[in-house]
Amino acid sequence: MRMLAVAALAALAYSAPLAAEEAAPAPAAAASGEWRTFATEAYRGKRDSVSFVDDSHGWYGTGAGDLIATKDGGATWEKVASRPGTFVRAVGFVDRQNGFIGNIGTDYYPGVTDTTPLYRTRDGGQTWEAVDTGEATIKGVCAIDILSVKRIYQGELQPRTVIHAAGRVGGPTGMLRSVDGGATWNVIDMAPHAGMILDVKFFDEMIGLVFAASHPDPAQAEGLVLRTEDGGKTWKEVYRSGRKLELIWKASFPEGGDTGYATVQSYDAARATQLVIRSDDKGKTWREIEMAQDNTARQFGIGFVNAEVGFVGTAAGGFATRDGGVTWERAPIARAANKFQAVPTGAGVRLYAIGTEVQAIDLPAPGKR
């Protein structure tokens, strides 16, 4: 009974929303190279996901079932839909009209009554329809990956949208997969491979990664990365932390590169060493990098704009590196930044961060200063 109680307390510690009044938002700043905080609808907790399709149009969701949208790069936001009982854990848009909304599912957060794991919208988020996967489905979604590819069809290159929606924190694990823009879906049972799935990234139709934990009980979980080269039919373990109370929370692979990073989220209160992991071969191998000595800096999201420049969100605020993780410094990012997204702009790249606040920083294009 004591072990069950410890596991339940540990799960509560990392799943409970963070109170907005406890957040330490970064000061607003408009200058290039400085983080600025947007005025958004009040929410008691962290927002989990943000999705931009260009430098103007973006969306985020909340645990209250709200979907919030911007048409001006984040300067103003508007609630476009609300579905009480749904916990919007992940958002992924293909274009200004078409997108997907992932729900955490029941039996995890109090007050969540919606059992539909994934919705799609065809009108910019105003209306949602449940994704039909037939009799098979998954419990909930923690991450959505949308990939635009081209393939040869009758002698012509035609665009193709590949979508993966995976979850979830606390288990059970599973993945929804579509290679035709959401017209049809396959369900992949991930229970033989992982106890939780927190993030997913595919490089093409066949090669992809899931960022996970080895067990649904955080007291027994070790951080885990799995790789597939056949579209999810088989999986290979390419990283395991070897330490209990750890998960691999979120990952970032800058567009077009082989180098990527992921956060090692630790629930060991006595452990001060905070690590990220780095791969230089599209996730085939990984190595650990020390980010900080601070047992309050439990990691959440991670966002790199190129192989060298990146940021990590933690429970104690943000960290930044400009040399590929060799050195790190504090960054004025609000607590619990859970997801980052880099968006090209006319002047360079804008990196959005979402957690207890919604923020952005404008950076020069790679190779420019």
Q: Are 58 and 69 in contact (CB under 8 A)?
A: yes
Rg (alpha carbons) of the chain, rounded to whole number: 19
Q: What is the pLDDT of residues 344-357, one digit of tens each?
A: 998 899 999 999 99
Q: How many CB atoms lie within 10 A of CB 359?
A: 28
User: With 50 as the cut, is the pLDDT of residue 364 above it?
Assistant: yes
Which residues, in sequence order, are CB contacts of 187 under 8 Å at separation 6+?
133, 134, 136, 137, 138, 174, 175, 176, 177
Token pair 């984040």 is at which residue? Answer: 74
User: With 90 as the cut, is the pLDDT of residue 17 above it?
Assistant: no
**pTM of the full structure:** 0.91
Which residues, in sequence order, are CB contacts of 341 under 8 Å at separation 6+?
50, 51, 52, 303, 351, 352
pLDDT of residue 368: 52
Q: What is the pLDDT of residues 129-181, one digit of tens each?
A: 999 998 899 999 999 999 998 777 767 778 899 999 999 999 999 999 999 99
User: With 80 as the cut, is the pLDDT of residue 296 above it?
Assistant: yes
User: What mean pLDDT do residues 38-65 have?
Assistant: 96
Whole-angstrom Cα distance, residue 102 to residue 33? 32
Kindly state the tokens that stand for 97. 């009209």
Q: Are 52 and 58 in contact (CB under 8 A)?
A: yes
Q: Break the chain into its structural domains and give their ranges.
A: 2-24+42-364
The CATH class of the 2-24+42-364 domain is mainly beta
What separation, in Å, do the N-terminal and C-terminal C-alpha atoms of the chain show? 58
At residue 215, what are phi and psi to the nearest 5 degrees?
Answer: -145, 145
Q: 91 or 366: whose pLDDT is higher?
A: 91
Whole-angstrom Cα distance, residue 359 to residue 35? 7
Task: Report the chain's mean pLDDT, rounded to a whole number.
Answer: 91
User: What mean pLDDT do residues 320-341 have?
Assistant: 98
Measure CA 164 to chain center: 12
User: With 70 as the cut, is the pLDDT of residue 6 above it?
Assistant: no
User: What mean pLDDT do residues 260-281 have?
Assistant: 97
Q: Are 195 and 215 in contact (CB under 8 A)?
A: yes
Q: Which contiguous run of DSSP H or E holds residue 257?
A: none
pLDDT band at 121 (very low <50, low <70, confident <90, very high): very high
pLDDT band at 28 (very low <50, low <70, confident <90, very high): very low
pLDDT of residue 273: 98
pLDDT band at 7 (very low <50, low <70, confident <90, very high): very low
User: What mean pLDDT do residues 327-341 have?
Assistant: 98
Whole-angstrom Cα distance, residue 314 to residue 14? 12
At residue 354, what are phi and psi to the nearest 5 degrees?
Answer: -135, 135
Q: Are 161 and 94 in contact (CB under 8 A)?
A: yes
Q: What is the pLDDT of residues 193-216, one digit of tens each?
A: 999 999 999 999 999 999 999 999
Which DSSP string corresponds to 265-300?
A: EE--TT--EEEEEEESSTTSS-EEEEEEE-TT--EE
Coil, strand or helix: which one is 7?
helix
User: What mean pLDDT do residues 64-92 have?
Assistant: 98
Kindly state the tokens that stand for 112. 């969540």
User: What mean pLDDT do residues 301-326 have?
Assistant: 98
